[in-house]
Structure formats: structure tokens, C-alpha cells
Amino acid sequence: MNVTLFNAKPYDQQFFREAAQAFGHDINFLEVPLNSTTAVLAKGAEAVCVFVNDVVSAAVLQELAALGVKLIALRCAGYNNVDLIAAGELGLSVVRVPAYSPYAVAEHTLALILTLNRKTHRAYNRVREGNFALTGLMGFDLHGKTVGLIGLGQIGRVTAGILKGFGCRVLGFDVNQSEEAVALGVEFTDLHRLYAESDIISLHCPLTPETLHLINEESIARMKDGVMLINTSRGGIIDTKAVIKGLKCEKIKYLGLDVYEEEGNLFFEDQSAKVIQDDVFMRLLSFNNVLITGHQAFFTTEAMRNIAEITLQNISDFEQGKALTNQVRP
Ligand code: NAI
């Protein structure tokens, strides 16, 4: 099948070229992101392959459908950037990679927690400068702390298992309570109790109309003083301005983000020679207890290999008229 792959970075090309040998699809790699200006570049393709920040709005889908595109293949798990209703109306199928490595994201979540807590980023710089003073580097034992996880799907459950290994008490909130999570030792509760009792809160639910700005002024007020807040899920789950207020009054003592509400204008590109215009983001960067990574939680060799193979399998299944196990519907 002819596939146009938008937003192609060198690492996408590497893993998709390697995996493609087994599938026989003809992939046209384009560095530009998909949006209403670039959609025309999919001419001649029956499938387009896109990532988290590509714009897959109704207008873009209309343009793609008019060009003869039949399939939108997401090379990611989240699909909040796709107008699924418009896709359905236009007869376009949408597939995704529901799981490629929950370990990658869960382990990165722990990297954020441990770095914020034990300040290894600061220690690294100090030691390289011959400064062995410990002042300012004190952390706390994770053992015995209460961690609240919102969303106990694949990533939330792996995170829970790791935290259990550290000796944490894990509280969970999910709209669907899983037996698997209970078996891991997760204590399901409501959001009120989770906010009130958690020393660390980590978000692992999808971005939906229900979870948009779930973390806001009101929910922050209900959290413990000095809480650590971690988001490796989707930026929109957090009201960033409310979190900045929480940081300023020291209600939130640590913030770890791999995602940001307005990341579409920033992440995945080298912006180091530019003046960043996003004042909210720059305010976040000014806190020494805020750690931000640029949506890299998924970025492991294992995950990239799985993403490429599952995406190409999804495309083959569509081409061969097979049942689409990874189809996303409204
Ligand atoms: P999943 O679908 O296995 O689990 C999501 C869980 O959230 C489900 O158990 C679901 O019932 C629950 N949920 C849905 N609505 C909820 C609500 N309103 N309140 C509480 N829980 C709710 O998804 P998975 O694989 O665990 O991924 C979770 C999220 O992580 C994805 O939606 C995606 O946004 C994000 N993600 C981030 C990556 C990164 O690189 N930073 C990579 C992969 C995923």
C-alpha cells in the first residue's frame, strides 16, 4: 500500500525502514507535520501515518478523503488529535497502536519521580564542577509513601507494580476498576480520597472531555501540602495556569511533566536558537522544582520497534480486508 508518513524524524525512518522489509508497503517519508496546508502532500497515498501532534481535524480529513486516502494509521496510543466523528462520516478508518511498551512510559514516570526527589540532575552538575556539598539535595524515602494513580490501564498498572517494588502504598482511581490492578495491590478509591492522601499523584488516563483540566484550582486545593504531581499522559489533563499558582504558593512542591497542553508548537523540534513565545511554558521552566521532558516517555528501542511493526501490520490488515483489531471509533 502507498503510505505517506508525516512528521518523519530520522528515528521514525530508521525503525519503519527496518520493519517495512517484512511488509512490502511503499512509504513516503515527509518531514513536515500533517495540517491543512500539508495534507495535499498525501496525494497518491491510500494511507497516512501520523503522530501525536499532527492535526487530524475535520478539515484535514476532508482534504485527505478527497485525495483518495482511506486509512489514518496513528503510530501512537492516544487519539485525542483525531476528529473521529468526521473520519467516520467520510468513510475513513482510523487505527492506532494501543500498546507498544507500557514499560517505557511507566519507567520514565519513575525517572521523573526519582530525579525530582533525589535531585540527581543537580548532583550531576555539582560533582562535575568539584562541588560535593549536599545542601539542597535532600530527598525523601519513597518507601512507605502514598502514591495516587489516576488511570489504571496498561501504563498505570505497570507504574503501580514498580511503585509496589519501592514499598509504596498505591491508591488508584479509574472509571473502570480492573482486577489486575487490585491483584497488584492497588487500593481503588474516589478522587477526593486520592487527592487528600497522596504524597505523589501521577496521571495515566487519556485526554477526553471528562479529563480535560481534571487537575485544576479546585482539585489542587484538595491535595496534600507539598504534593508531587507527575504527568506523562496528555498535557490537557492539567490546567497549567492553576498548577503555576500551586507552585507559587508551594502547595505543589514538585512537578514532573513529559507532556504540555500547548506542546504542539514546541516539542519534537530543536527550538534552541529561537525565542520561545509561550510565556506560560517559560514560567514553568523558571521553577527549580519543575522537571520537563519533551514527550519522550515512549522513546525506547523496544517501543519504537513495536510501534513500527504494529502500525505496518494495521495497514496490512486494512489492505487485506481483515478485521481491524486496533481500530478507533468515536
Ligand atoms: P489504557 O487505555 O490502557 O488506560 C487508560 C486508563 O484510563 C483505562 O483504564 C481507562 O479506564 C482510564 N480512564 C479513562 N477515562 C478516565 C477518567 N475519566 N478518569 C480516570 N480514568 C480514566 O491506556 P495506556 O496505554 O495506559 O495509556 C494512558 C495514556 O498515556 C494514553 O491515553 C496516552 O495519552 C498516554 N501516553 C503517553 C505517552 C508518552 O510518551 N508520554 C506514550 C503512550 C501513552
* DSSP codes joined into one string, 1-20: -EEEE-S--HHHHHHHHHHH
% of residues, the chain, pLDDT over 90: 98
Residue 88: its H or E element: helix 84-89
Task: With cut-offs at 50, 70 and 90, classify the pLDDT of residue 94.
Answer: very high
Q: Residue 57 has what pLDDT? A: 98
Calculate mean pLDDT across residues 215-229: 98
Residue 297 Cα: closest atom of ligand 1: 40
- pLDDT reading at 265 higher than 90: no
Q: Given ligand 1 and candidates 53, 171, 173, 175, which is best to mutate, with the most ligand atoms within 8 Å of its CB?
A: 175
Distances 249 to 4, 17, 229, 244, 279 between C-alpha atoms, Å? 48, 50, 15, 9, 19
Interval 219-223 mean pLDDT: 98
**CATH top-level class of 102-292:** alpha beta
- CATH of range 2-100+300-319; options 3.40.50.720, 3.50.50.60, 3.30.565.10, 3.40.630.30: 3.40.50.720
Q: Do residues 257 and 292 make contact, with C-beta atoms less than 8 angstroms apart?
A: yes
CB–CB of 61/74 below 8 Å? no
pLDDT value, residue 29: 98
Residue 306, C-beta contacts closer than 8 angstroms, at least 6 positions apart: 97, 100, 101
230: β partners: 202, 256
pTM: 0.94
Give the tens place of pLDDT for each residue, 273-310.
999 999 999 999 999 999 999 999 999 999 999 999 99
Q: Would the CB of 209 count as within 6 Å of ligand 1?
A: no
Q: How far apart are the first and last CA of the chain?
A: 25
The overall average pLDDT reported for the chain is: 97
The CA distance from 60 to 273, in Å, is 30
Distance of CA 308 to the CA centre of its chain: 17
Q: Per-residue pLDDT for 245 more than 90?
A: yes
pLDDT at 290: 98
pLDDT computed for residue 109 by the predictor: 98
| Residue ranges covered by each domain of the chain | 2-100+300-319, 102-292
| Residue 297 Cβ < 6 Å to ligand 1 | yes
**One fold for both 2-100+300-319 and 102-292?**
yes
Lateral strand order in the sheet of 2-5: 26-29, 2-5, 47-50, 71-74, 93-95
Q: Which residues of 174-276 form beta strands (DSSP E)?
A: 187-188, 200-203, 227-231, 252-257
Report phi then psi at 93, rounded to 5: -90, 145
User: For position 252, what pLDDT does the model report?
Assistant: 98
Quick check: 206 and 233 in contact, CB under 8 A? yes
Which residue among the candidates 263, 269, 283, 319 is catalytic per the annotation? Answer: 263
Read off the pLDDT of each residue in 101-107 and give the average, rounded to a whole number.
Answer: 97
Which of these, 39, 35, 98, 52, lies nearest to 263 by C-alpha position?
Answer: 52
pLDDT in tens, 59-92: 999 999 999 999 999 999 989 999 999 999 999 9
C-alpha cell at 166: 519501592
Q: Which amino acid is at 140?
A: F
